[in-house]
Amino acid sequence: MTDTGPISRRAQRRAKARRRRRRNAGIGVSVVLLAAVATGWAVYGRGGSPADAAARQATGPAPAATHGAAAKPSAKAPAEPKGTVTLAFAGDVHFTERTANRLGVDPALGPMAATLSAADFAMVNLETAITTRGTPQPKKYHFRTTPAALGALQRSGIDAVTMANNHAVDYGAQGLTDSLAAQASSPIPVVGIGADEAAAYRPYVTTINGVRLAVVAASQVQDYTNQNFRAGPDSPGIASALDRTRLLQAVRDAKKQADVIVVYLHWGTEGQSCPGPEQKSIAADLSAAGATAVVGTHAHVMLGSGMLGPTYVAYGFGNFLWYGSSPYPHSDQTGVTTLTVTHGKVAKAVFTPALVDGNGVPRPQTGAAGSSITDRYAQLRGCTGLATAPH
């Protein structure tokens, strides 16, 4: 997937800049405005809680349209020196059961949208099929949403999503057809899934602040989806990290086009907060192939992160916008990781802690609560073999 689509990447970046300006202009009056509407319908007019209303004010109003020609705002002043880019990542996102109503809330990701919007590029894993049709496949859990989810994520500051995961084809071939149609009309790039193998492994490539960025996605989870709906030479499906040779070739090909290579994987074992040997092995291979960052999710809990030589590795971001409860300790702890990459090297990694609330929405944590999550996340590095990332 190249730097094209219903809205150009330049227009999306400019829209982000507008949201930042609106946010900065509104900080001084946000308390007054919230007090004025706290008892009125305005707070709940689009659903959600007062915290969601505050987040809407912070990130600014949703764009008037997500298709067609965009308005022509003033040129964006780079937030960093040329050659530097900031990349934000978070974990699994659903719009089903207790989070289904988030499609009617802006920003759908709640207050953490401010952290995601502040980065030059932000990405999550969309853990669902995009369909209203199809047949539930012979597996325990089934997730689906509508194409509106892609616009909702864009309005939360997300610039791309991966669908290379074990729930992208929960509703079979017909559901997959609908997901691919949603991908084709999406206001943001959808990677890791495609009409054939070439499309599924194809990187999304764009230029930000003079930095050529490429994003590749794949699933390493050995499950029904990877067995039955892996993209082939002439068949649709997800990109599979189980075909390591094919994934490594995709990364090497991306390296020929870009300065910074991000690989977003679905990997790990549910409930386990230490990476398995298969994760460590593929991380090492991807680093050798030229990946700047290897990140991912799946386990429903956070795993450690750090440096593997020149490559930043995050073994698990955990749940983010989450449909229900998980039976694992600390599964409600989450956050956003923001990398600063300068001249192709990771210069800084910042973790912003959050906690998934009773409605499935990640809420920022500060003070002692935030420190507790951040400290625990740092301790998880102990079983990864990774070095501390610059901060």
Q: How does DSSP assign 123-156, residue by residue?
A: EEEE-SEE-S-S---SSS---EE-THHHHHHHHT
The span from the CA of 271 to the CA of 47, in Å, is 32
Q: Residue 257 has which token pair?
A: 């086009």
Residues of the chain below pLDDT 50 = 1-12, 14, 18-47, 54, 56-77
SS3 of residue 313 by DSSP: strand
> How confident is the model over 94-123, as pLDDT tens digits?
999 999 999 999 999 999 999 999 999 999
pLDDT score for 81: 87
> How confident is the model over 49-90, as pLDDT tens digits?
555 554 544 444 433 333 222 222 233 345 688 999 999 999
CA 62 to chain centre: 19
pLDDT score for 13: 52
pLDDT score for 6: 36
CA 262 to chain centre: 12
Block residue for tokens 């590749």: 216
Q: How many CB atoms lie within 10 A of CB 259?
A: 18
CB 254 within 8 A of CB 262: no
CB 232 within 8 A of CB 30: no
| DSSP 8-state code for residue 270 | T
Q: How many CB atoms lie within 10 A of CB 113?
A: 26
pLDDT score for 388: 98
31's CB contacts (< 8 A; 6+ apart) are none
| DSSP 8-state code for residue 383 | G
What b/e readout covers 321-339, taking b as 16+ CB neighbours within 10 angstroms?
bbbeebebebbbbbbbbbb
